Structure 1
Amino acid sequence: MSAFSEHHEPATVADRLGEAAGASESLLRDVIDKACRRFPSLGQREKSAQVERFIASRAWTDAALALIELELPLWQLRRIAYDGGEWYCALSRTCGLPDWLDQSVEARHTDLALALLAALVEVQRIAAPESRPSVPTVACDARPLDEPLCCDNFG
């Protein structure tokens, strides 16, 4: 599998999640293909198999929670709330802090599984490594009117 920044486009996945009315197998596969770096996990085959079983049984919320657990081992589900016809989901790296001190990633959607997947995609987008060369480049500012001049005294 190629690097996340080269192959994956989480912005388009986030747009597709926002426009979807409900979860589906093709949408979950698209999230896995474009935003998941650890799936399928060679070191955690049981978790990968569990995600596949959830998808096969159309358990979208369970599949989204299992993907979060597999893809974001340092993140935890901080809050799930339903208000005004939408599900609000917050993921955080530090759940012991009060809400006002915590820097969590939040997402919302009318479908719970899609709210969870949108939060996963947002964390992956934030955590994506920047594409920078290992050696900085310097711009070559050659002026065409400059000509070399020999200053040797041959006399």
Structure 2
Amino acid sequence: MSLLSENPSELGDRLRAADGVTAELMADIVSRTCRRFPSLGQGGKTAHIERLIHSGAWTETALALIDLELPQWQIRRLVYDEGEWHCALSRQRELPDWLDQSIESHHADLALAILSAFVEAQQISAPASRTSVPGVRRDASSQYELLLVDNFG
């Protein structure tokens, strides 16, 4: 099941409403957002993530998922302020803040703050399933008639 096939904001809402990470929530995140997990070419990373999930190391699991699924993204900022963790993911950390288009999330739980940013970055990074040829609307009414406009004379 892909994140794109369902309401993408539903998983983000669940993460924001959660008090902490559970094995069920992590399994749902992995099944709905991860395209490379499990990966034959990344067997070591996949096994490492499975061990982290089994041990309940949620923060390390979130960081490992970013490394596996979004290698072009990096944590730009991770700050604890006024009872909440603030996480910013970026494709180009070296740019000044005002030029960077980072993804920012926050939550009282560190792992959920990182996972929220991960899910949002995964939504942005997901390839669009569009064809190169525009589609034809299929809801045309019966009032329209086909008309040949070529001049063969």
State the TM-score, normalized to the length of structure 2. 0.84
Paired residue for 2:4? 5
Q: Name structure 1 gaps, 5 residues minimum.
A: 149-155
* Matched ranges for 1:28-107 at <5 A: 28-107=26-105
Q: Name structure 2 gaps, 5 residues minimum.
A: 148-153
Decide which of 82, 102, 127 is 2:125's aligned counterpart: 127
CA distance in 1 between counterparts of 2:13 and 2:105 reads 12
CA gap 1:42/1:4 in 2 versus in 1, 3 angstroms:
farther
Q: Kindly, what percent of the aligned residue pairs are identical?
A: 54
Equivalent pairs, count: 146
Paired residue for 2:151? none
State the TM-score, normalized to the length of structure 1. 0.83
* Matched ranges for 1:107-146 at <5 A: 107-139=105-137, 144=143
> 2:2, 2:31 within 8 Å by CA — same for their partners in 1?
no
CA gap 1:80/1:106 in 2 versus in 1, 3 angstroms:
same
Larger radius of gyration between Structure 1 and Structure 2? 1
CA distance in 2 between counterparts of 1:47 and 1:12 reads 28
Question: 1:137, CA displacement in angstroms?
Answer: 2.9
SS at match of 1:96: coil
> 2:88, 2:117 within 8 Å by CA — same for their partners in 1?
yes
Q: Deviations over 1:91-134 (max 9, x none)?
A: 10111111121110111111000011000100111122333234
CA distance in 1 between counterparts of 2:26 and 2:121 reads 16
SS at match of 2:68: helix
Question: 1:42, CA displacement in angstroms?
Answer: 1.3
Paired residue for 2:150? none
